[in-house]
Amino acid sequence: MQCLITTTVPKPVTTVKGTCCSSLACRVDYERIRAVGPDRAASEWLLRCGATVRYHGQERWQKDYNQLPTGPLDKYKIQAIDATDSCIMNIGFDHMEGLEHVEKIKLCKCHYIEDDCLLRISQLEKLQKSLLEMEIISCGNVTDKGIVALRHLRNLKYLLLSDLPGVREKENIVQVFKTTLPSLELELQLK
């Protein structure tokens, strides 16, 4: 008697900048993080999802997953993340847990970014210390709740909020940040 085993490959949800994006591709592989470190694992996840990263001490943005730098794994520390038009989603944000050197995050036209993603970012202790600048632009699932969660990013110096139809209470947001982050430069380009 023969046993036939078949497997099915999940179909991609969408294609972003030439990469497949499915919830399976975004899942966190904790073994991989332990094996290669948080910066390498986060780089792999971000690039798979169509984002780009810039490493500390480098001018060039890393865009190609197949061109990720080799060498000592602790040499390349993510300094900036540009997730423009990427498919990063909440299921993958644990990749960012150990990142200690991220100073800037740009979320622009990220269709899967929602309040829980911003809440997760604001809960990551190492990002609370390192993150200085953040831009959230044209992310339609973000509401006041997600923006207000960013008040926990205690070293944030600049926050740009633009084209966020779910953000309705601008005055409340301004007041929250004036109280919790008085040195924050808050730029609102909201209707």
Confidence of residue 111 (pLDDT cuts 50, 70, 90): very high
In this predicted structure, what is the pLDDT of residue 21? 57
Q: In whole angstroms, give the CA distance from residue 92 to residue 25.
A: 9
- Exposed e or buried b for every residue in 40-51, given b needs 16+ CB within 10 A? bbbbbbbbbbbb
Q: Across-strand partners of 108? A: 137
Q: What is the pLDDT of residues 133-153, one digit of tens each?
A: 999 999 999 999 999 999 999
Residue where the block lists tokens 């290669």:
36
In this predicted structure, what is the pLDDT of residue 136? 98
When mean pLDDT is compared across 7-11, 29-33, 75-79, the lowest value belongs to 7-11
Confidence of residue 14 (pLDDT cuts 50, 70, 90): very low
* Centroid of chain to Cα 187: 20
Q: What is the pLDDT of residues 153-167, one digit of tens each?
A: 999 999 999 999 999
In the chain, pLDDT over 90 holds for what percent of residues? 80
Amino acid, res. 14: T
- Model-level pTM greater than 0.85? yes
Residue 75 pLDDT greater than 50, yes or no: yes
Q: In whole angstroms, give the CA distance from residue 178 to residue 89.
A: 29
Q: Are strands 158-162 and 104-108 parallel, antiparallel or unpaired?
A: unpaired
Q: In whole angstroms, give the CA distance from residue 130 to residue 96.
A: 12
In this predicted structure, what is the pLDDT of residue 25? 60
Amino acid, res. 74: D
